[in-house]
Structure 1
Amino acid sequence: MSEPLSIPDQEAREAAATTFDRNVVVIAGAGTGKTTLLVNRLLYLLMRRPDPLALSRIVALTFTNKAAAEMKVRLRERLRALVNERDREGEAAGGGAVSVADLRRRYGWTIDEIVARAETALRDLDKAQIGTLHSFAAHLLRLYPIEAGVAPTFKTDEDGSRFDDHFAMEWDLWLDCELGATGRDHARWRTLLKSFRLQELYELAYGLHNDLIDLEGLTAQVREGELSVGLMDWFAQKHRQAEALLLRYDSPKRRKVESMLAALVQLYGLLLDRGLTGPEALSLEAREALEKDLGTAPTGWTDDDFDEVKALQRVALRLLSVDHGVMEEVLEVLVPFVQAVRLSFRNSGWLTFDGLLAKARGLLRDHPSIREQLKREYRALLVDEFQDTDPVQYEIVLYLAEQLGRQATSWREARLEEGKLFIVGDPKQSIYAFRRADIEAFDHVVARLEDGGALRCELATNFRSHQSVLEVVNGVFDALLVAQPSVQPPNVPLAVQPNRTSPFRNAGVELRLVRADQDDDLDSAAATRVEAEQVALLIARLLTEAEEGAGAAGSESGLRPGHIALLFRKLTQTEPYLESLRRQGIDFTIDGEKHFYRRQEVIDLVNLLRSVANPHDGVAFLGILRAPLGGLSDQQLLELRERGALDYRRIDRLSGWDHPQAETIGRLYRILSQLHTEAPLVPLPEAVDLLFQRLPLLELAAASLHGEQAVANLLKVRRMAEDLADRPGLSLTEFVELFITRLEEQPEEAESALAEDTLDAVRILTIHKAKGLEFPVVILAGLHHGDGASRGPAGPVIWHDWSTGVQGVEFGDRCSIGAVLVDEKARVREQAERRRLFYVGMTRARERLVLSGALPKRRVRGALLDLLERAVGSELGLADQDALSVGQGAFRQVVVPGEDGPPARQRPRSAEWEPGVVDQILMDRWAERDRVWAERRSEALVVSPSDFIEKLTVPVKGVPRSREEAVSGKAVGTLVHRLLQHWDFAGDPARQLAQLDQPPLLPEAEAVRTILATFIDSPVYERLQRATLVGREVPFLIPWNEGRQILEGVIDVLYRLDGRLWIADYKTDMIPRDQVEARAALYREQARLYRRAVETALGEPVAGFEFIFLRHGLIVPG
C-alpha cells in the first residue's frame, strides 16, 4: 500500500487490509478513510498469494445503494490504475491506495500477472456481489426460489404501497367473514370490541404484518405464564438497584422518594417470587406511592441517583399495565389473519422490503445444504457500516461466515471460519435505532469475533477535518461519550492528517447563540425565528465575502453555496430557516423532505384530476379556479356563483360576464370539458399527460417559488400513475380516490429528487441524511430544539430484543411483560444515541463548523445545546465570554440579543425611483431574454459529429462525378461499412470476398470487392488482425453544450492493441491519393469528439484515432 506520509495508524490499516488467517474487526472513526480501506482489502483478496480469489467469490455489503455505487467506482478506478502503464513503472498510487509496486513487493507477482488479474476483475465487476444486504438477499432468493418459498419472478415492494393496498383489501374481506352471518367467533369479537375500537384492532394487525416479526414466538411468549430467563435477570437487576438506593438513602422518616423506593422493592420482589401474578398482591399503599409525582430531587440526593429512581418508577408503572389475558385474546384472533395476508401477498408475486431479509435468513437457517453451497461459493465477506446493520442481517452474515462442514441450527451456535469475515464499523456513529440498528447486538457480534481470535484494528487518523475542528470534537465527546456496556461506546479521539493545510482563513468552530434579555420573555418559537434570520445573514455574509473579498483578510476564497450544509435533527424544524434563506435570496435544496402530499402544486394537480373525473366535485373545481391555473379572487368566484357558472360544462353561463379574464376562463372551461370526455378513455399515465399537454401546469410550476422542485413533483405524480397503471381495474376515478386518501392521511413521501450534487445551492439535510457526507462549511442549526419525541407511542408497538430473544406488544394502555423490558432498553439507548447523533453532525465539517441555537426563557429537554453545555462544563451564552474551551480545543462564542422584530433582508440601499431608467432596464433585460431564448430554440436537441464537420468543411479538389456516380458511391460506402461490421479478421479473406458473388447480385459488388481487396492487401488490415476488437459500429450518447444538447454518433471500430485503446473510422471517399491528408484534416473535429466520447464513457485514455481510407489502404492519424 502506497502512503507518501506516515500516519499514526498506518500499521493498523495495513494489518486490516492484508490479514487473511483471522477475521478482522475494524473500528473506523469519522473521516478515517474506511472506503479506501475496503477497496484495498478487495484488491488484496484479488491479488493475494496464495489463494487469490475471483471477484465472483467475494461479497461486499454496504448500508446504502449510494455507498455500494461508490465502492464499485473506486474499485474500478484502482483496477484500471493497475492496468494503466503509469503504474507499471512503479509509481506510487497515492492516497493510501494499492499500487503495482506494492503488489510485486508483497506477493511477487509479475507486472503481466497483476495486469491480467486486474483485467479479469474489471470484466467481472458488473456481476460482482457489491451492494446492500437487501439486494444480496434478493439475489439468494432468486437462486433458490422454491426452497425459499417465493415466486421465481418475485418483485420487491420497496415503498410498501402495494402491501398497504393488499392488506386493506384483505382486512375488509376478512371482516365480512368474521363479523358476518357466517362468522364462527362472534362471542370473542363482542368481548374485544368492548375494549377496543375496530380501527385500533386494524392498527394492531397492521403493526404485526412485518415479516421480521416472529408471530408464533410472540404469541407463545404472551401465552407463557412464567418469566423467561432474560426477563428474570433484567428484573432482578432492577430489584437490586432499588434495594441499593433504599439502603443508601432510607431514613426513619421517609419522604416521597424513599417511600417510592420501598414500594419498588416490594413490587419487583413480588414479580420475581410469584411471576406475572405477583404485582396483583401489591399493597394499596405501595401502589399509591408508585403513582405519585416525585417532583425535583430532595436534599441529599444526587441528580444521577434521582434520575435512576424515576427510571425505576417508569418501569414499575409499565409493569402495572401488563395484561397478558387481553393480549393473548387479541393475538389469537389477529395472528392467523396476518399470517394469511403475508402468504397471499407472497403468492401474488411480491415481497416486502423486510420480507427479503426474513426469507433469506430462513433459507440459510432452514436449508443447511444450501447454506453449505453458498459458504463454498463465497469465500470472503466484507460488511461496511456494521453498526447500522440490524440483527437479522447479522444472522445472515453469521450463517454465511460459518465454518465449512458445520450446520448449526441457530446463529448463536454457528462457529465462524477464520479469515472469512471482515467488518468495518464505528459504534460512535450508530444512529439508526429507528431502522432496528442495535448497538447491543453490534457489541455482541464484535465480542464474539474477538473471542474467536479476530484481529481488532482501530483507525483514528481523520483525513476530513481541520485540526481546530477535531480538537473541539475530541474535547466535547471525551466528556459526552462515557463507556456504558451495550449502550454507549467510549470516545476514541481523532488525529489530524499530517501536514494538512486549509484554504480557509477562519477554519475552526464557532458557537452562535440567540439569548433573551432579562426583561424579554422570548419563547422558543420566537427564539427560533431570530436564530433562523441570523443563520441566513451569516450564510449571505460568507458568500458575499467570498465573492467580493477574495484574498482579503478573513474571507473564504472560492466558497460557493454548494459548499455549505445546514443540518437539523429533523426536517420538521426547518421551515423558519427556509423562509429566512428565501428572504436573503439564497438558493437551497432540501435532501429527504417527506412532505410531498403537502406541496401546493401536488394539491392543485389532484384538484384538477378530481374535477376532470367528477364535474360534480365543486370543492375541487373551486380549488382550480383559485389556484394559479384559474387565478380568480374570492370576489370573482362569488360572481360566478351568482351566475350559476361554477361548472365547466355550463360555459354558456359565462356569456355576458364582463371581466378581463372571461375569455381565459372560458378557454379553461372548454379544455376541462374535453378532458372530462377523453381522460377516462386512455391509460392512466396518458391521462396525466393529457393534462400536461392541454394546460400550462408545468410552466406555472416552473414560475412558482419552488421552481424546478415543483416541476419535479408534478412529474413524480405522472411516474406514480405509471407505476400504479398495472393494478387490475385501477381507473382514473380510483386513482383520484387513492390520492385524496393520501392527502388526508399525509403519509411520509419524499419529494422528487433533484440532482443535488450538480446544484450550486446550500444543502439542507437531517444529520441522518448527512452521514457519510462532508462539506467545507457545516452549520448545525436549532441546537435548542428538543428531539420532538411524543409522550407515548402513537399506535400499537411490537417490540423485539435480539440479545435476549424477548418480544413484546404494547396496545393502548396495556402491554405484555416483554414490552416493559424492550421499551425501557430502547429508551435508554435513545438517550445515548442522541449524543452519537451530535457526534455525527459535528464530524461532517471539513474546515468550518458553526453551532447555532437559542437560549429562550423556557428551555426544552433533550436539546443538543444541553449536551454541549454539559461537555463545556459551564453556562453557555454569557455576554462576557467570547471564547470557550473544551479539552484541548477552543472555539469562539457569539451571542446575539433575542429581539423578535420584523425580519431583516440584506440588500443594497435602494436608489431613487426613475421610471424611464427602470423601464429601459426591463426592456433591455427582456430583449436579452428573447435573444437567449431564440438562440436556445435554434439549437438541435441531438447533434452528431458530422454536424461539426459540415461547419468546418471547405472544398477540396477531387475526382469529378456525376449525380448517379455520387449516389452509387454513397451506396458503396454503406455496403462496405456493413460488411466490415461483421468481417472476420481472423478468417480467410479470399473466402469472404468470394461470397460477394453469391446471389442476390448487386450492381455495386465489383466496386465493393475492389475496395476490400485494396484494404486486405494493406498494412492496416494486418494491424487489425493483431488487435482485440472491443466493438464495431459502437453507438454513443453523451451530454453536450453544458447539458443543453446530446451528442450522438457511431464509432466504426474500437480496438485494443498492446494494451492500449484505439479508435478507427473507415472512409470510402473517392479522392486521389495525394488528397488523403487534406481530406483527413477536415475530419479532425470528428476525431476529437469521438475520443472525448470514449474517454467519458470508459474512463480510460485513448491512445489514438485513425482514419482508414479504404480505397488506398492508408492510415492517417486523427
Structure 2
Amino acid sequence: MMLHEDGKIVKENLPDSHARHSAVAASGSNVVVTAGAGTGKTSLLIDRILHLLTRGHDRLALTQIVAVTFTNKAASELKLRMRHRLRLMKALTTGRSPGNELHDYEIRSIRTLQEASGLTNEELAAVSDEAMREVERAHIETIHSFAGHLLRLYPVEAGVDPSFQEDDGTRFHEHFNHEWDQWLQRELDANGRRHDAWRRVLVRYDPDDVKQLAQALTDELIPTSGIRTSQPAITPHLRSWLATLRDRGHLLRERYHGTLKINRLLDAAVALLADVEMNGMLRPHDTGEAVVLQQTIPTKTKAWTDEDYEEAKGLLKVAQTIARSGSESLWDAVQLLSPFVAHCRSSFVEKGLVSFNGLLARARDLLRDHPRVRAELKEQYQAIIVDEFQDTDPVQYEIILFLAEAAGSEAREWHRVQPAPGKLFIVGDPKQSIYAFRRADIEAYDTVVRDHVLSPAAKGERYALQGNFRTHAHLLDSVNRCCANVFPSVSVEGLQPPYEPLLPVPSDSLPLLHERMELRLVTLTQEDADAETSGRAEADALARWLRDDVLEKESLIVGGRAVPIQPRHVAVLFRTFAHLRICLEAFRRYHLPCLADGEKHFYERQEVLDCSLVWRTLMDPRDELAAVGVLRSPYGGCSDVEIESIVQRGFMDDWADESSLTHLPPIFTILRSLHAEVRTLPVPEAIQYVFQALPLAELAAASVDGEHALANVLKLRDVMLALAMRSGLTLREVVRQMEQWVDDPPNEGERPLVEEGLTSQGPGGAIRLLTIHKAKGLEFPMVVVAGLHRDVDNRKASVLASHDWLTNTIGLRLGQTADLGGVFLETKVAERERAEQVRLLYVAMTRAQRRLVLSAALHGQGATRKGTLLSFIARGLDLDVQGIVEAAQERSQCDHLVGNVAVTTTVVPPPQPVKPVLSRVEGKPRPASPTWKATMPDGAEHQRQWDIWFKQREAVAKTPLFLSATRPLTTGDVALPKSSALLEKVSGQSEKQSMAHRRKKAASQPGSSDRSAIVGTLAHRVLHDWDFSADPATMPTWIETCCNTYLSQEWVPESGDVCVELQEIFAHFVESEPYAVLRQADILGREIPFAVPWENAEAETEQVPPSVMEGVIDVMYRRDQQLWIADYKTHRVEPHSVEQVVQESRAQMKVYRRAAESALAQSPVRTQLIFLRSGLSIEV
C-alpha cells in the first residue's frame, strides 16, 4: 500500500527543484551543493539522510552516517527536525493524522521518497522506528565532538586519556602560565645553560612578546617538526610566490616608465625579490635596495590608474617588510622555546585535557598514521555529510578526506587521497565564508572541492540551490543587484567566488510600503571626527529613529499578516563588537529594550563589571579605581558630587581602620565585615557566601535588563566557582583572574535566555544586537546593518605563529621581525580579509526577511572611505553618496531606482548632543539615598549573638595569620614579592628555596649593607650543598665557588675579604667535634621548610583559628637512632654571651622540635645550636 494523496498538497514549484531532487537522490557520485542564503539547506540535509536510510539498494543505518555541522546549535536543530520528520513518516505510514502544523513540503518529500525507494508502508515505518532509536547515538554533531569520539575510540593510538576532557582554552591558559613561570625560572637561574642565547633574544625582543610567541607555538595545529630545527630553507611555494611578485613588478615598470619615486621603489623591490628568490635568504638591511625601500610610498599620480597604483602599493609594502626583516634572531628565539613548547603540549594532555585544536590535530594524526584504525572507521562510516564546508578549518578537510577514502587505499598525505564515489555530500556557500579568523581558508576550500570531491575519479557532481525562502522578491532584487556588482563575474580562484543570484520562492504576501531596502546616512560637521564620535552620532540617530518613528508606528508582514513592528522583530548587526557596545549605550539611554550577543560581551556587561569591582574592593580596599566604581554603581548609589566629596576626604588604607568608613556608603561597612569572614572559609564557600550576603543578584534583577542581568550575575558566580574548584587558586587569585578577563575578555557569551520572543523584556521582546558573525544562520523580520562607514583595522599583530595548511608553511613574527613565511602569511591574510569584507556584507544583507536598513555616519561633505562596507554598497547600488549628501537639506529622503526596485536614501542631520543619563529607570530620578542598606536584626537575643560575633571577629583580626620561628610576623607581613622572572644574574638565595626560607633570611640577603649578614647567608649556602664525607681539604675551593655563584654584584669589590672570612670560619669548623659528628651521622635533610598550625596563647576566645608557624630547619640528622635538629650560628659570640644566645634560641628550638615531631610522628627530637666560628655545639 502506497501513501495516499492528500488533497491539501499542491504541486511543488521551486525555481531550483530539479537541483534539489538531483542532489538528494545522487547515487554513486560525490556531491557538492552550493546553497545560497535562505535556500533551506537544513531541509536538504534531512532529505539526504532519509534517502540514505530508505534507498532501494544498500540502505544505511543512521549510525553509519556522519553529519558534521558548524555549531552545536545547528546539530541540535538538525536532530530535532530529523525526529520531527521521522515521526511524520511514521504517522503517514500508519494512517494517523500528521497534524495541521506540518508543512506540505515535508509530506511531499516523504511521498517522493517512498515512491523512489519502492518501500511499503510497513517497511517505511520500520525504517522510522529504527532511526528514532538511533537518533541519540547518531553522529550528528560538530567536527570537534566527532573528533573527540574518535580519540575516545582509540585512546592508546591517539595518546590520550580515555576519559579526557575538552578544554575551551581557559584551563590551558592557566596551565601555560604555570608551566611558563616554572620553565623560565629554571632557564634563567644560576644552573641555566643558555644564558648567552637568552641575552641575545631579550636584548632584541620584548619579554612579553617572547611569552606570547611561546603560547602561540603551543597550538597543536602548528607542526612541531617545523620548529625543532634551525631556520628552514625557502620552500618551492615561497619561491613561486616571490617570482609572481617579481613578475608583477616587472609588468608595472614596463607599463609606467620614468624615474619618479614610485618607479625607483619598484626597481628596488623587484631587485630585492629576485635576490631573495635566488639566494633563499633575506639580504642584510644595509643593501642598496633595502635602503631605498626605507622611503615612504608616494601618493598616486595622474599617470597611474587606481588599480595599478593599488597593486604597486601592495607589492612595495611586501618588499619593505621583507627588507626590514632579519629572521635569524627570530629563529634563535624559536629554538630556545621549542623544548618548552613540546613539554607544555605533552604535560597538558597528561593532565587528561585536550584543547579544541588538539582534538582536530590528534584525530587527523590518528587517521593518517594508523592505517588499521583508518580502515576500521572507513568501514564503519559509509556516508559523510558536511554542512558549512566553506567555513571548515582545513585540518577538518584532512579528517573528512581520510574517512572518505576509497576502500583499499592508504594514502599517507591528504593531497593524495581520492574519496570513494558516493561517500561525500558537501553543502556550503563560498559567498558566506566569513571565518578566516578561525582558520577558514577559501583557497583550501576551492582546492579540496576541485581536486578531490569533484575529481573525475570521485565522480563528483555540483548543484546550486538558489531558491530563497527567507526574503520577499522586491527586497531580494535590491540585494541581488548590489551583490552582483561587488562580487566578481567569474571566480577569482582561492580568493572570491562569482555571484549566483538568489531566486525568490513564490509567495502570496505582497510587501508593505516600508518593506524594502533603505540607506540612512548620518552627517557630521566635524571633518576630523574619529570613529568613536561617528559611531556615537550614528547610534544616537538610530536609537531616536527606532523609538520615535518605527516601533509601534510602522508595520511588517509576520506570520502572513501585517503587525506593528515590535522590538523582537528588529536585529541590528555590526561588523565589529566595538561598535556594538556604542550602540548598546545609546539604546539604553533611549530606554529601548535590547539584548547584546557577542563572543566577548559577557565581561563587558555592566552588571558583571559592577560585581567585579565589588570583589576587587573586597580583596583590596586600597584599589581606589575599584572603590570609585563601587560608589558609582547601584551598590554605592552615589552621585558625581558625592563621589568627589568622598575622594577628597580619602579612602581607607585597610579594612582594620573602622573610623575611615564613616563617610562611605553602607556597602563598605558590609565589605569590611565580609573581608574578615571570608578569610577563614574555603574558596568555593567564600564565593557562595559573598553572593548570598550581598544583594548582587537582587539589584541586577531590578535593573533595566531584568532577568538577563540576573542570569549574567549568576553565571559570574558559576564561573568563579568553577575556576576555584578546578584550579586550586586562592580567593585573591580568583579575583585577579576575573580582573584580567575584564581587561582582556576571553570568548565568553552571556547566559542565554529565551531567544524566541524574549519574554523577559516584556510582551514586545527586545531588539537583538549582534555581530554579523553571530547572526550567520539566523533571520529577522527587520535587519539594520550599522557602522557601514567604519574602517577595517589593518594593524598587524606584534606576534604571529601560524601554519598555512595548503602550502605547509609556518609563518612567524616577533615584534618588528618576521621570517619569509610570516611575510607570506600576513600578505595572504590581508588579501583574504579584504575579499571577506564583501562576503560579510552579503551575509548581513541576507538576514532580512521583510525590511533591510543600511546605516552609516559621514564626515563633512560625505566622502566615502575605500574598503568600507559603505563603499561596496555605493558601488553595488551605483550611488553617488557625496552627491546625495550635498543635495540634502536639513533632512532629505528620496528613492533611487535599482533595477526595477526603489531604494530609499535618507540623510539625517547631525544629532544634538545628548547629556548622558548615568542612572535612570523609566524616567525616574535617582533616589536620594541608596535603595538598600545594612540592617541589624531586632531583639535582645539577636543583639547578643551579634555582640559575640563581633567579639570573635575582633579577636581573629588581632591574630596574625603567620608566625615565624625566628622573628614575629604581623598580619600584613606575609610573603615577600616574587623576584623578577627575567633576572640579570641569579644572585642571593637559590630559587629552589621556599618563600618561608626567604622570610626567615630576609634580613641577611646578599646585597644587604650588613657584612655579617652576607657572611652568614653564604655560610649557610656552603653547608647546604657540602658533602660532609668529602675531604675537608677541598672546602676552600668549594667556598670560592659559592662566593662566585651567590655573591651579588654590589659585593663583588669585597668578595675577596668575604671569601677570606669564610675560609677562616670553616678552617676552625672542619676541625671541630660537631663537624666530626656530622660526618658520621645520617643526614636526613638540609634547609627544610615547614609550616604548622600554632595556637595563639594570648587569644581571648577558644574559637580563634590557629596561626601558621613557619620556619626553616638548617640540618636534620640521625645518630645512634636519635633524631637531631641543628641550627647554625655564624655571628661572633664571646664565651660569657653564649648562655644568653642559648636562652634567646629556646623558643625557636621548641618550634623546631614540635614541627619535626608532628611531621615525623617521632618523639623525642633533640635540638642543638652549632657555633661555626668556635666549633662549639650546645644542646637546647
Q: Give TM-score, length-normalised by structure 2.
A: 0.71
1:232 aligns with 2:239: yes
1:167 corresponds in structure 2 to: 176
* AA matched with 1:883: D
1:779 aligns with 2:784: yes
The equivalences for 1:72-151 within 5 A come to 72-85=79-92, 88=95, 94-95=104-105, 99-151=109-161
1:1059 corresponds in structure 2 to: none
1:347 corresponds in structure 2 to: 350
1:381-433 deviations in Å (ceiling 9; x for gaps): 00000000010001100000001111111111112101000000000000000
Equivalents in 1 of 2:916, 2:624: separation in Å?
42
1:21 aligns with 2:31: no
| Structure 1 spans left out of the alignment, 5+ residues | 912-917, 923-1118
1:731 corresponds in structure 2 to: 730
Equivalents in 1 of 2:622, 2:259: separation in Å?
72
The answer to whether the Cα contact below 8 Å between 2:93 and 2:122 also exists between their aligned partners in 1 is: no
1:331 corresponds in structure 2 to: 334
2:962 corresponds in structure 1 to: none
* AA matched with 1:192: V
1:926 corresponds in structure 2 to: none
- Relative distance call for 1:80 and 1:258 in structure 2 (3 A) is same
The equivalences for 1:699-710 within 5 A come to 699-710=698-709
Report which stretch shifted further, 500-509 or 199-208. Answer: 500-509
The answer to whether the Cα contact below 8 Å between 1:375 and 1:400 also exists between their aligned partners in 2 is: yes
The equivalences for 1:898-917 within 5 A come to 898-902=910-914
1:367 corresponds in structure 2 to: 370
* AA matched with 1:450: L
1:842 aligns with 2:849: no
Equivalents in 1 of 2:856, 2:221: separation in Å?
40
1:56 aligns with 2:63: yes
1:891-943 deviations in Å (ceiling 9; x for gaps): 111122235444799xxxx99xxxxxx99xx9xxxxxxxxxxxxxxxxxxxxx
- Given the alignment, which residue of 450, 474, 481 partners 1:475? 481
1:491 aligns with 2:515: no
- RMSD of Structure 2 on Structure 1 (CA): 3.2
1:714 corresponds in structure 2 to: 713
1:892 corresponds in structure 2 to: 904
Report which stretch shifted further, 50-59 or 850-859. Answer: 850-859
Report which stretch shifted further, 448-457 or 400-409. Answer: 448-457
Equivalents in 1 of 2:699, 2:25: separation in Å?
59
The answer to whether the Cα contact below 8 Å between 1:783 and 1:865 also exists between their aligned partners in 2 is: yes
The answer to whether the Cα contact below 8 Å between 2:812 and 2:819 also exists between their aligned partners in 1 is: yes
- 1:178 aligned counterpart, secondary structure: helix
1:210-267 deviations in Å (ceiling 9; x for gaps): 11111222455x6233x211111111111111111111222xx421222222222222
Compute the displacement of 1:16 (Å).
Answer: 0.7
The answer to whether the Cα contact below 8 Å between 1:474 and 1:887 also exists between their aligned partners in 2 is: no
The answer to whether the Cα contact below 8 Å between 1:358 and 1:392 also exists between their aligned partners in 2 is: yes
1:36 corresponds in structure 2 to: 43
Compute the displacement of 1:333 (Å).
Answer: 0.7
1:501 corresponds in structure 2 to: 509
Equivalents in 2 of 1:444, 1:107: separation in Å?
35
Compute the displacement of 1:578 (Å).
Answer: 2.5
Equivalents in 2 of 1:382, 1:494: separation in Å?
24
- Given the alignment, which residue of 255, 271, 276 partners 1:248? 255
- Relative distance call for 1:283 and 1:743 in structure 2 (3 A) is closer
- Given the alignment, which residue of 190, 194, 197 partners 1:188? 197
The answer to whether the Cα contact below 8 Å between 1:266 and 1:282 also exists between their aligned partners in 2 is: no
The equivalences for 1:348-497 within 5 A come to 348-448=351-451, 449-452=453-456, 453-482=459-488, 483-497=491-505
1:764 aligns with 2:763: no
Equivalents in 1 of 2:424, 2:61: separation in Å?
16
2:827 corresponds in structure 1 to: 824
2:579 corresponds in structure 1 to: 573
Compute the displacement of 1:741 (Å).
Answer: 3.6
The answer to whether the Cα contact below 8 Å between 1:218 and 1:808 also exists between their aligned partners in 2 is: no
Equivalents in 2 of 1:643, 1:809: separation in Å?
49
- Relative distance call for 1:86 and 1:217 in structure 2 (3 A) is same
1:802 corresponds in structure 2 to: 805
Compute the displacement of 1:849 (Å).
Answer: 0.6
The answer to whether the Cα contact below 8 Å between 2:523 and 2:908 also exists between their aligned partners in 1 is: yes
1:796-849 deviations in Å (ceiling 9; x for gaps): 101322222222111111111111222111111110000000000001111111
Equivalents in 2 of 1:735, 1:643: separation in Å?
28
1:585 aligns with 2:591: yes
- 2:454 aligned counterpart, secondary structure: helix
* AA matched with 2:474: S
- Relative distance call for 1:98 and 1:374 in structure 2 (3 A) is farther
Compute the displacement of 1:340 (Å).
Answer: 0.4
Compute the displacement of 1:706 (Å).
Answer: 3.9
1:264-318 deviations in Å (ceiling 9; x for gaps): 22222222332215x449952x444433333332222211011110111011112
1:530-556 deviations in Å (ceiling 9; x for gaps): 432332233224554458x8999xx95
1:65 corresponds in structure 2 to: 72
- 2:732 aligned counterpart, secondary structure: helix
| Structure 2 spans left out of the alignment, 5+ residues | 4-8, 759-764, 928-1180
Equivalents in 2 of 1:437, 1:203: separation in Å?
23
Equivalents in 1 of 2:80, 2:211: separation in Å?
46
Q: Give TM-score, length-normalised by structure 1.
A: 0.75
Compute the displacement of 1:594 (Å).
Answer: 1.9
1:208 corresponds in structure 2 to: 217
1:1109 corresponds in structure 2 to: none
1:753-775 deviations in Å (ceiling 9; x for gaps): 33333411111111111100111
- Relative distance call for 1:99 and 1:516 in structure 2 (3 A) is closer
1:1040-1099 deviations in Å (ceiling 9; x for gaps): xxxxxxxxxxxxxxxxxxxxxxxxxxxxxxxxxxxxxxxxxxxxxxxxxxxxxxxxxxxx
1:157 corresponds in structure 2 to: 167
1:199 aligns with 2:208: yes
The answer to whether the Cα contact below 8 Å between 2:65 and 2:384 also exists between their aligned partners in 1 is: yes
Compute the displacement of 1:515 (Å).
Answer: 3.1
* AA matched with 2:570: I
- Relative distance call for 1:758 and 1:185 in structure 2 (3 A) is same
1:839-870 deviations in Å (ceiling 9; x for gaps): 00001111111111122136544311111112
- Relative distance call for 1:542 and 1:116 in structure 2 (3 A) is farther
1:290 corresponds in structure 2 to: 293
1:985 corresponds in structure 2 to: none
1:511 aligns with 2:510: no
- Relative distance call for 1:737 and 1:645 in structure 2 (3 A) is closer
The answer to whether the Cα contact below 8 Å between 2:556 and 2:781 also exists between their aligned partners in 1 is: no
- Relative distance call for 1:840 and 1:741 in structure 2 (3 A) is closer
The answer to whether the Cα contact below 8 Å between 2:487 and 2:499 also exists between their aligned partners in 1 is: yes
1:781-801 deviations in Å (ceiling 9; x for gaps): 1211112x14321x3101322
- Relative distance call for 1:469 and 1:755 in structure 2 (3 A) is same
1:179 aligns with 2:178: no
- Given the alignment, which residue of 522, 540, 544 partners 2:547? 540
Compute the displacement of 1:43 (Å).
Answer: 0.7
Compute the displacement of 1:203 (Å).
Answer: 1.3
Identical-residue share of aligned pairs (%)? 41
- Relative distance call for 1:635 and 1:564 in structure 2 (3 A) is closer
The equivalences for 1:943-1022 within 5 A come to none
